[in-house]
Structure 1
Amino acid sequence: MNWLEHFISPWFFLFEADKRIYWLYLLTSGLVALFISGKQLFSVKLWFNQSSLVDVCWLFINQWIFKFLVVPLLALQVSYALSINNFLNTLFGTGNYWEINQSLLVVFFTFSLFIGQDFGKFLVHFSFHKIRFLWRFHAVHHSATTMTPLTLYRIHPVEMLINSLRSLFIGAMMSGLFIYLFKNPLGISQILGVNLFVFIFNIAASNLRHSPVWLGFAKCEYLFISPAQHQIHHSAATQHFDKNFGSALAIWDYSFNSLLLSEGQSVNAFGIDKKAIDRQTFKQQWWGIKS
């Protein structure tokens, strides 16, 4: 890949449905933002400042790391799934216990994978906050003092690698289990394709999670993490620390006593501490942030 291809590759995220900044997800979030807060999401000061510039730097730099380190790992998911199926056959004997309607199987697999990945995201995210060595890398994401949809890509390579391994492990485990249990064939497109439930999550204004637009889900926040709840998670206020670790589902936070509803709450500033505003250079963040 030459420098020009590297420069333009992130722009193709706008046309890839598995990316959070897919054009349709941005469109729905933008329309909701206009309805709720007018032009707040489209402020020039929001998109052009030191913190937002660091977001963009991480986005472009991580593309190299993702393509050369992460993609080869994720490509092994089908192979690992087949290995898990073989392991289960050796351990418990030949599987293929049930055969059900193919469409029903796809829905069941998609839903199960979504639940498994969502719980995995919660556990890894929880660990990033609770294990001091991991926090220094996750703190890069939390060091953002302004939030835009591109803040999603403000992640340290160590965090990106761990999240990719989590996705690979859960995806392979779930796929291998379904291949073992059901007679129906599970295609590569179903194993590696865009998850329907993730698509629904992304189209439901998920890009407002990293934004100043306050959107709560009222009592539904006991089930689903709203954009406002994720903004609470990024709040610089100490009373909001270690709250709302969940990605899509709130049931994990409820179970771990870390759920905080958005009703009655407000966020006045984002970041990890008062020094966050002085840590807005890529050089300062490369080795992680001690706080």
Structure 2
Amino acid sequence: MNAQAAAQTERTGEDGRAADTLRIAYSPCPNDTFVFHAWAHGEVEGAPPLDVSFADIDITNGLAERGELDVLKVSYAVLPWVLEEYALLPCGGALGRGCGPLVLTREADADLSGATVAVPSERSTAYLLFRLWAAAEVPGGVGEIVVMPFNEIMPAVRDGRVDAGLVIHEARFTYQDYGLHKLADMGEHWEATTGLPIPLGAIIAKRSLGRERLHALAEATRASVRQAWQAPERSRDYVLAHAQEMDPAVADQHIGLYVNEFTADLGEAGYAAVRGLLDRAATEGLVPPLAPGALDF
């Protein structure tokens, strides 16, 4: 399924949604389909049915900024623009160590000063990490930034249409197939300078659902994660059906890297990572500053 086609929707119940059906959008990437498989298929007891749309992160970020849908997987980077209407759920997202975005080039020793760089979104965590890295490591700064779907970035670098590409997701495991070189690892830079895990993708839900229901959604998400861990074979077909012809071994690596203890609960370290990223980015003028208590749940 085309990750950019937000209109391609999978119904989890009958047409004509039940009154308590939640409209949710997340990516077709293995970590998201693994996490939400049980809930999307009605296997989480007491959880409301889901009306699922699959969309690339740049699209879900836009949906959040426009206030569309009830629950969304978005970049942590978009939170300063959406937290008035949406609450950050303390689970279901993607944080970790050793899982940061990569800057890829055709030449191993490429110079990015004034270079054209393809990125998956200017409202993505990957982009914030890249700008923070470039401010410290690229004399004079990079040149033009080109936004394109993440699955088109490596071919664009390979074919010389851009000088470098900022890649996410399973590209960590496949970039050598395109003859590309890893110039820098944004996660390594972030961890070395902060000691914190890397905040990548967040799950947010409409505040208008009410506090009690938001807490119930968090519990449903945790239950879906636990069931995925307990019986990973149950989600296998769902994961591979939406993995854009990804090799099953790569899908397993993807899940192993991005679904971890922070997916079950952000915890103190997770919240510190999110605040640290957004505070640093605000200092650099990349995002608006967070309002007091904006991350509270």
TM-score calculated relative to the size of structure 2: 0.23
Between Structure 1 and Structure 2, which shows a larger proportion of strand residues?
2
Tell me which structure has the larger Cα radius of gyration: 1
